Structure 1
Amino acid sequence: MRKYQAIFMLLAFVTINTRAQEQVLLKDDAVSRALYNNFGIKVAKNQVEIAENNKSILNTGFLPTLTGSAGATYNRDDATIEFPGQFLESGEPRPDVELNQAEAQRYDSSLSLNFTLFDGMGRYYNYKSLKEQYQLTELQARETIENTVLQLLSIYFEVARLTENVNVFKKALEVSNDRITRAEYAFEYGQNTKLDILNAQVDVTNDSINLLNAQQQLSNTKRDLNVVLNQNLNESFEVDTVVAFIPRLQLDDFIAKARENNVALLQTKKNLLINEYDIKISRSGYLPTIGLNGSYGWNLNQSAASAFFPGTNNETYNLNLGARLTWNLFDGGSTNVRVKNAKIAYENQELLKKQIELEVDRDILNALDIYENRLSIYAIQEQNVVTNENNFERSREQFQLGRITSIEFRQAQINLLNAQTNKNLAKYDAKLAEIQLLQLTGQLLNVEL
């Protein structure tokens, strides 16, 4: 008996000592940590930042371009100039002229300004499209956050379920250990046989194994949660096992406004606007482009002396202003093709929007049915626990009075154990169904869970 009591005391000590060092991780705290630390959410936020940079006026072509340039050249010549057949006044042949280290330099610099006044409204609609793409990226980031929060809460509630199961198995082990003590006392007084003690020891062994397995599953699931939270895998914590369900009237209001808040539908609406702007951008190819240009330059030429002319320095300043109209009267039909394709893409997006609306409506109705079904199962399991608790207490009284066998008592204990673990499973299944319904209605990040 002492061996089995030692096992129980060791398990109890480990559980109590571990819990004494653990802090309670509330659902809101877990969500906040995930929003700050999760890798997927960080990547999504960076994508939003890129989209924000893209929609800046610096990326639209509305501003002029200013280009500066400068250059310098150096040239040195060594030359010999001959005059064949030429004579001086004295009748002597004209001597050769040698030019050594004849140096010439050229320096120039300029500033060029180009500004497009009108490009068929292409830049304007592109700017509008970039703004919509930024909002689309925000919605995509929101979808990533919602999926991460759903994953987080799924693991969080699994930790809560396993925590409650550990407590259930712990109580079962306490009862089984108490049976060993009573069986040994009864054996000493000749009220039962050694078989009752052996049966009790077998049950303690089974309950100890069940408890150890539940604790191992709990530890593994906590590590899964630490991965989502991007924190130390060995971080230890307790979770909140209290579950509150949202009132049905509030859920009905969420469902009624689902089309306005569902993230998938909002994304299709943004894509539809972007496709509409693509049509207008393509049409801008039919219109002319008007632009202004100007330049200001400086040049300095320093030429070396030659056989006939002295060296010169020539410095000039240049200012040039101009305007240009460009109209592509016929581009082989490429603009027309782009416009037609953009219209087809817009029609496809309209069809996709209708399909997603239908699918979202279906998913919401299915999720609502699942939620209601799981709530009903949870209510039944709660009542089942009450029934099995009454049955177990009656069976324990009868067992202590010797009116039922240890096998019958053990069966009542197993029935209670199963009822309690089934209730835990039903409770968190119902809560997860509610969370999935909230995600479909676009309210997952707006309500307190």
Structure 2
Amino acid sequence: MKYNNQLLLFLLIFTFFYGYSQQILTKKEALEIALENNFGIKIANNNLETAKNNASILNGGFLPTATINSGADYRTNNQKIVFTDPQTGSDAERVGNGVITKNYNTSVALNYTIFDGMGRKYNYKQLKETYNLTAIQARQTIENTYLQLFTLYFQIARLSENKLNLEQALAISKSRFKRAKYQYEYGQTNKLEMLNAAVDVNNDSITLIAASQQLSNAKRGLNVVLGVEKPVTYEVETQVDFNEMLVLQDLEEKTMKNNSLLKQNEKNIAISEFNIKINKANYFPRLNFNASYGLNRTENENLVNPFGARLITSNGINAGVSLSWSIFDGGGTKTRVKNAKIALENQEILLEQQKLTIKNSVKNTWNNYKNQLFILKAQETNVATAANNFKRTEDRYNLGQVTSIEFRQAQINFINAKTALNNAKFDAKLIELQLLQLSGDILNVSF
């Protein structure tokens, strides 16, 4: 009874750890983790928050500024005053040492720009466009993360299936070695047959170990994109579904409308246009309003002059407007306007270049996609043929009608065909994702 309980406990523990080691990380879960923890996305979101702060009314120059100034001054001086008596014409002298004077002042000032040639208006609009540009850049970062994430995810799926193929190949080689060993022990074959089978087992084992290492490395690479540390014991989904609704014309239209690079360049053009207007604002006058309330107090002690005031206080409001107009600034404004127009022209040229480049990328990627789908169909046929050939060769090998070399070649052909099919499947899916990224539709992919 005690033995049965121990056995049951062992089976439960083994089942738990086996289930944990075989935990499946789905595509949807991987995407959710990356969106929350990816370092690049976090930085992009922070940059977007900074751009939002910059585009606030608080940074637009539309609000007045208020300043409080306050100060105190203490002086001690030696003074000498010479008086002339108007009646006698004789001089009289007064001397004071350590004469103390105390000054106190405080004021509140308000300044506001009434008109600046519309410069702050265009600057505020430019900041809004900069925010929109940053939002598009953040979107592009997320799109790139999508593509990077699923490139690594499908690479893990590819390596997982390849590893499974290699495990099957190793199992076949071990079975063949076991058969050859029995035949040698019973004198039905020579030792060379057994040694060849042993070499093939070793080679398949080495290949499997290398594939396992590649798989572990790929999972660690995925962890970096996810922004988390996960044990590399998890598995991934290997099923691939293709979007059969893709049409080249629709992709081209969506690309010209939604591609992140093109949208960014359009925003750069808008920013450059506002930059011209901001520089042109320097041609106009500036009208400022200012107002202040001040309080001053002066205390004089030990006066030498008997007619001097011992206490002086003043307070009041001052207000006014000022107009300034730079009629000629040495040509600086004119130069900046010219350079801003050149910068705008460069942005327009760059947009046309990007349109042409991206149009070609869509067509080239589309052709690669269709070719890869054709290759996928062809590889499916190859696998069926190779599987049939291997099965027939295995049957004949068991009957002693073919050599071990012929059997091994059929085995290698079968494994290579399955590997090629596996590669074609995931290559086609990655090209499909590239098409969706170009068209700005990759964020709408559902898994």
TM-score (norm 2): 0.89
Equivalenced residue count is 430
Match of 2:356 in 1: 358
Contact 2:81 2:305 in 1 (8 A): no
Amino acid at match of 1:151: Q
Pair 230,18 (structure 1): closer, same or farther in 2 beyond 3 Å: farther
Match of 1:280 in 2: 277
Q: Among 96, 109, 112, which residue is 1:112 paired with?
A: 109
Match of 1:6 in 2: none
Contact 1:305 1:311 in 2 (8 A): no
Contact 1:227 1:233 in 2 (8 A): no
Q: Among 176, 194, 205, which residue is 2:173 paired with?
A: 176
Match of 1:37 in 2: 37
Take 2:223 and 2:140, find their aligned partners in 1: how far apart are those partners? 21
Amino acid at match of 1:257: K
Match of 1:384 in 2: 382
Q: Among 349, 361, 365, which residue is 1:367 paired with?
A: 365
SS in 1 for 2:441: coil
Please list, as runs of the form range in 1=range in 2, the aligned pairs for 1:43-82 lying within 5 A after superposition: 43-77=43-77
Pair 293,447 (structure 1): closer, same or farther in 2 beyond 3 Å: same
Match of 2:120 in 1: 123
SS in 2 for 1:248: coil
Take 1:195 and 1:237, find their aligned partners in 2: how far apart are those partners? 41
Q: By how many angstroms is 1:340 displaced?
A: 2.3
Take 1:235 and 1:403, find their aligned partners in 2: how far apart are those partners? 45
Match of 1:12 in 2: none
Take 2:253 and 2:189, find their aligned partners in 1: how far apart are those partners? 66
* 1:434 to 2:432 alignment: yes
Q: By how many angstroms is 1:333 displaced?
A: 2.9
Q: By how many angstroms is 1:171 displaced?
A: 0.6
Please list, as runs of the form range in 1=range in 2, the aligned pairs for 1:166-205 lying within 5 A after superposition: 166-205=163-202
Q: By how many angstroms is 1:215 displaced?
A: 0.6
CA deviations on 1:258-290 (whole Å, 9 max, x unpaired) are 111100110111011111111211221222222
Q: Among 149, 156, 160, which residue is 2:153 paired with?
A: 156
SS in 2 for 1:241: coil
TM-score (norm 1): 0.89
Amino acid at match of 1:239: V
Take 1:333 and 1:250, find their aligned partners in 2: how far apart are those partners? 55
Contact 1:304 1:311 in 2 (8 A): no
SS in 2 for 1:307: coil
Take 1:277 and 1:385, find their aligned partners in 2: how far apart are those partners? 61
Take 1:50 and 1:153, find their aligned partners in 2: how far apart are those partners? 29
Pair 67,330 (structure 1): closer, same or farther in 2 beyond 3 Å: same
Q: By how many angstroms is 1:29 displaced?
A: 1.9
Take 2:388 and 2:62, find their aligned partners in 1: how far apart are those partners? 79
Task: Point out the more displaced range, 47-56 or 184-193.
Answer: 184-193
Consecutive unaligned residues in structure 1, runs of 5 or more: 1-15
Pair 62,237 (structure 1): closer, same or farther in 2 beyond 3 Å: same
Amino acid at match of 1:74: Y
Take 2:268 and 2:34, find their aligned partners in 1: how far apart are those partners? 29
Pair 285,78 (structure 1): closer, same or farther in 2 beyond 3 Å: closer
Match of 1:4 in 2: none
SS in 2 for 1:321: strand
Take 2:50 and 2:20, find their aligned partners in 1: how far apart are those partners? 46
Amino acid at match of 1:301: T
Please list, as runs of the form range in 1=range in 2, the aligned pairs for 1:319-358 lying within 5 A after superposition: 319-358=317-356
Amino acid at match of 1:236: T
Contact 1:385 1:423 in 2 (8 A): yes
Pair 97,337 (structure 1): closer, same or farther in 2 beyond 3 Å: closer
Take 2:236 and 2:287, find their aligned partners in 1: how far apart are those partners? 66
Please list, as runs of the form range in 1=range in 2, the aligned pairs for 1:210-225 lying within 5 A after superposition: 210-225=207-222
CA deviations on 1:356-375 (whole Å, 9 max, x unpaired) are 11111000001101111111
CA deviations on 1:399-428 (whole Å, 9 max, x unpaired) are 111211111111111100111111111111
Pair 308,350 (structure 1): closer, same or farther in 2 beyond 3 Å: closer
Take 1:252 and 1:176, find their aligned partners in 2: how far apart are those partners? 51
* 1:394 to 2:392 alignment: yes
Take 1:43 and 1:82, find their aligned partners in 2: how far apart are those partners? 76
Contact 2:107 2:292 in 1 (8 A): yes
SS in 2 for 1:294: strand
SS in 1 for 2:444: coil
Q: By how many angstroms is 1:107 displaced?
A: 0.3
Take 1:345 and 1:255, find their aligned partners in 2: how far apart are those partners? 28
Take 1:236 and 1:181, find their aligned partners in 2: how far apart are those partners? 31
Q: By how many angstroms is 1:98 displaced?
A: 5.7
Take 1:308 and 1:174, find their aligned partners in 2: how far apart are those partners? 117
Match of 1:316 in 2: 314
Match of 2:243 in 1: 246
Contact 1:254 1:443 in 2 (8 A): no
Contact 2:285 2:324 in 1 (8 A): yes
Take 2:443 and 2:246, find their aligned partners in 1: how far apart are those partners? 19
Amino acid at match of 1:391: N
SS in 2 for 1:445: helix
Take 1:20 and 1:175, find their aligned partners in 2: how far apart are those partners? 29
Pair 400,143 (structure 1): closer, same or farther in 2 beyond 3 Å: same
Q: By how many angstroms is 1:311 displaced?
A: 5.3
Q: CA RMSD in A?
A: 2.6
Contact 2:216 2:232 in 1 (8 A): no
SS in 1 for 2:443: coil
Amino acid at match of 2:400: G
